Amino acid sequence: MILETWSSDGCRTHLVASERTREAALVDPLLAQIDADLARLRERGLTLRWVVDTHTHADHLSAGAALLARTGAGYVMHESTRALRATRRVADGEELGLGEAVLRFLHVPGHTSDSLMVALPGALLTGDFLFLGREGAGRLDLPGGDVGAHYESLRRLDAFAAGVEVRPAHDYRGRAVSTLHDERAANPVLRPRARDEYLRWWESLRRAPEAWMDDVVAANAAGAVDPRAVEIPRERPTCSACAAPAGDPALRELTPRELAARLKAGGLLVVDVREPDEYDGELGRIVGSRPIPLGQLARRASEIPAGPVVAVCRSGARSARAAAELARAGRGDVGSLAGGMLAWNEAGLPVERAARR
């Protein structure tokens, strides 16, 4: 059996394929990556037989309906899904064959009512039901979320060995895989708690709803095939609930003018956690800033010299998360630019821009 995880801006798509028959399944494919994914399949001589969505996604457009139209592959979701284009609706415990591989589907409601986990030999594709490490799990405060159901769904992990791989649908720190042993030690949703305590803990993480996510859910349920069907903000992570759990250090937010004054005084490093295309984009960047995308921050933190650090992004969401991550890693003087490069530009402060080619 072939098992690979492909990454795009915090999202994870999993390839499961048979070495013998060359049949393949794609789990949680992105509409924005459909051409690249099909090219990868052609290069490997693989025929797409199944497309699986572990749930109705709220933060990106699924490629499920488009792959159904372009390849004829079956489109698999849980039997309770609202997705109109799903052609194979599976019940809890149902199995699908893929050459020598068998995909077993487990219903794990909580993040959404139609959430599935895909069990493979030696691996669990957990969707948004379970993330890695401090990320915890997907938000439970979106439409269809149910904390009590999630608590009960977590009990299903007790049936699996400690060494089984965990591969989620999202990770915002550049990881693709963990083990159930490591998640039991590090993941906050797997910390032993009574049900009432678990419900209270999730209530402390509740965030304001994001209206655009309702539009994404509706587009995925309808089977959108146009990647421009919904405008999706670049700020991430939107589906992670435990990115900044209660009890994290209070972090300073600097206004653009405050940051400019600190930079003029010297001794401060700006770390820009946007993606490379944004760093070179129309908003420009702060002179002397060091680019380290948020998804790479955990493994590249050693590149940041000792001393005060202020994280910067487009609007302040990712930089606040980056600052929290650095603080948890032991950095004592970290902050975030309030409003990000949007606010910096609005204040008329200087930027440098990449040379046009």
Q: What is the CATH number of the domain that holds 137?
A: 3.60.15.10
What's the confidence (pLDDT) of residue 251? 59
Number of domains making up the chain: 2
Diameter of the chain measured on Cα atoms: 65
* DSSP-assigned states of every residue in 139-201: -SSSTT--HHHHHHHHGGGGGS-TT-EEEESB-SSS---EEHHHHHHH-GGGS---HHHHHHH
Among 63, 102, 105, which residue's Cα sits nearest to residue 83?
63
On whether both 165 and 261 belong to a single domain, the answer is no
Q: Is residue 16 part of a domain?
A: yes
Where is the domain boundary, 212, 238, 273? 212
The phi and psi torsions of 241 (rounded to 5 degrees) equal -95, -30
pTM (predicted TM-score): 0.72
On whether both 208 and 72 belong to a single domain, the answer is yes
What's the confidence (pLDDT) of residue 330? 79
On whether both 294 and 147 belong to a single domain, the answer is no
On whether both 20 and 112 belong to a single domain, the answer is yes
Q: Is residue 219 part of a domain?
A: no
Q: Is residue 244 part of a domain?
A: no
What's the confidence (pLDDT) of residue 235? 56
Range of the domain at 52: 2-212
Order of strands across the sheet that contains 74-78? 2-8, 11-17, 23-27, 47-52, 74-78, 88-90
On whether both 105 and 185 belong to a single domain, the answer is yes
Q: Are 309 and 331 in contact (CB under 8 A)?
A: yes
Q: Is residue 12 part of a domain?
A: yes
On whether both 197 and 287 belong to a single domain, the answer is no
What's the confidence (pLDDT) of residue 250? 44
What's the confidence (pLDDT) of residue 130? 97
Please give the average pLDDT of every successive group of 10 residues along the chain, which has 357 residues: 89 96 98 96 97 96 97 98 97 95 97 97 97 88 91 97 96 83 91 91 75 91 94 68 45 85 92 93 95 90 92 87 83 86 93 80
> What CATH number is associated with residue 320?
3.40.250.10
On whether both 43 and 132 belong to a single domain, the answer is yes
On whether both 186 and 301 belong to a single domain, the answer is no
Q: Is residue 233 part of a domain?
A: no
On whether both 42 and 139 belong to a single domain, the answer is yes
On whether both 148 and 52 belong to a single domain, the answer is yes
On whether both 66 and 136 belong to a single domain, the answer is yes
Q: Is residue 329 part of a domain?
A: yes
The phi and psi torsions of 294 (rounded to 5 degrees) equal -55, -40
What's the confidence (pLDDT) of residue 270? 97
What's the confidence (pLDDT) of residue 208? 66
Q: Is residue 96 part of a domain?
A: yes
On whether both 43 and 192 belong to a single domain, the answer is yes
